[in-house]
Structure 1
Amino acid sequence: GMVRGRPRYNFVMGVESGMPADPDLLPILRKLALKDARWQVTAIGRAEIWRLHRRAAELGGDLRTGLEDTFYLPDGSKASSNGPLVEMLANYARDAGRAVASPAEAREMLVLVKQAA
């Protein structure tokens, strides 16, 4: 095939050129993805994105966020940095019975090569 290694999907939701921010789409997208593929949601917006992140955590998707996607926490307050956003996703992962990856584990999942010094 054309894909080497484990395929990855990035479902872009909540932007004009992406899909609607509807968590009910995630089980369908997951079903249509190649078997054993890794997937994540890039969700752009305010309150609506948090339902997507929670559902992605429940369905086994990789989780990602940052101020490039939203400035707002689920309660509507403004995030002071990426830290509170990442903390919310870590809570969603734990609520779904999942472990949170260490930095080394995350690099391995993303197939990031360690640079020589």
Structure 2
Amino acid sequence: MAMTPGTLITVAPTGAELAKSDFPHLPTTLDELVETATSCERAGASMIHLHIRDADHRPTLDASYLKAAVQALREQTSLVIQLSTGGSVHDPLDQRLTVLDAEPDACSLTCGTTNFGDDVFLNPYGFMSDLYVQAQEREVVPEFELFDLGHVASLARLIDAHGLPFGGKVHVDFVTGVPGGMPGTPAALLAGVAMLPTEVTSWAATGIGRSHLPIVATALAAGGHLRVGMEDNVVFARGVPVEHNSQLVERAATLAELMQRPAMSTDAARAVLGVKDRRRA
């Protein structure tokens, strides 16, 4: 796996865990998501990882909300649109599969069950396998979310069982620093990278909370890509809260530029990921 000259920056603006009442800058309405997406694209993001909220700002997998978000972002940005199939840790497995009905460019595919704070994020092998095959059939590119080293082995098992994903590329994201998952340390991240199957063509890393900057630095130095955003980190610096997702994207893009791996364009990201171009001419 050769080092990619540029850096694919994904913004994860909302997530399903934080309450709007506690974090008023969290983008939860469609208008807020569109403004966030356009600002983050200007700042250097080339993909957006979406969790959707309903009219009461609660996490939802309702098809109408998902489709409206995909359509609006596709019309007003050129970002690669990736929908979360994780939803909330409380969402049932069968409902999580329906996310693909919204026709995103990409989707998340978490490669195993993990403790998630006081909860359990359930991803049994049968669900993973069904999602993998449905994504192939619908020509949606999965991003394989790896919360632990065992998830790397599960990824290899999926590839062995079903062949390559749609587009022929295999892109993974190490999600580090979740209580119950792999720690957000350089040593843990590099151990995971060393275990990746040969089919993997690109990888990114996410550092939750205070592990954010060490993971960004390690990923850039090791040839990986980045995911940043308020889903993962709401503190910009000690005592300084994040007020807009673009702050995190701008910092990531600045660090990538300093490492001579500048932020990728959305077209370059599409080529790296092998996504189908669903944008209308």
Q: TM-score range by the shorter chain?
A: 0.7 to 0.9
What is the distance in 2 between the residues matched to 1:50 and 1:3?
Answer: 35
Distance in 2 (CA, whole Å) between partners of 1:13 and 1:57 is 15
Is the contact made by 2:176 and 2:189 (CA closer than 8 Å) also made in structure 1? no
Deviation at 1:41, TM superposition (A): 1.2
Is 1:43 aligned with 2:207?
yes
Is the 1:7–1:34 Cα contact (8 Å) retained in structure 2?
no
Q: Quick check: 1:50–1:74 contact (8 Å CA) kept in 2?
A: no
- Indicate the structure whose relative CO is greater, using CA pairs within 8 Å and at least 6 residues apart: 2
Tell me the residue number matched to 1:25: 188
Go from structure 1 to structure 2 and tell me whether the alpha carbon gap of 1:23 and 1:3 turns closer, same or farther (over 3 Å shift): farther
CA-CA distance at 1:28 after TM superposition = 2.0
Question: Which of residues 242, 247, 262 is equivalent to 1:84?
Answer: 247
Q: CA RMSD in A?
A: 2.0
In structure 2, relative to structure 1, the CA distance for the partners of 1:112 and 1:7 (3 Å cut) is: closer
* % identity of equivalent residues: 29
Give runs of ≥4 in structure 1 deviating > 6 Å.
none
Structure 2: which 5+ runs fail to align? 1-159
What runs of 5+ residues in structure 1 fail to find an aligned partner?
A: none
Q: Count how many residue pairs are aligned between Structure 1 and Structure 2.
A: 116
Contact 1:41/1:52, CA 8 A, preserved across alignment? yes
Larger Rg: 2
Q: Work out which of the residue numbers 93, 96, 105 in structure 1 matches 2:268.
A: 105
Cα shift at 1:112: 2.8
1:34-88 per-position Cα deviation (integer Å, ceiling 9, x unaligned): 235311112221x322111111011111111111111122455222211110111
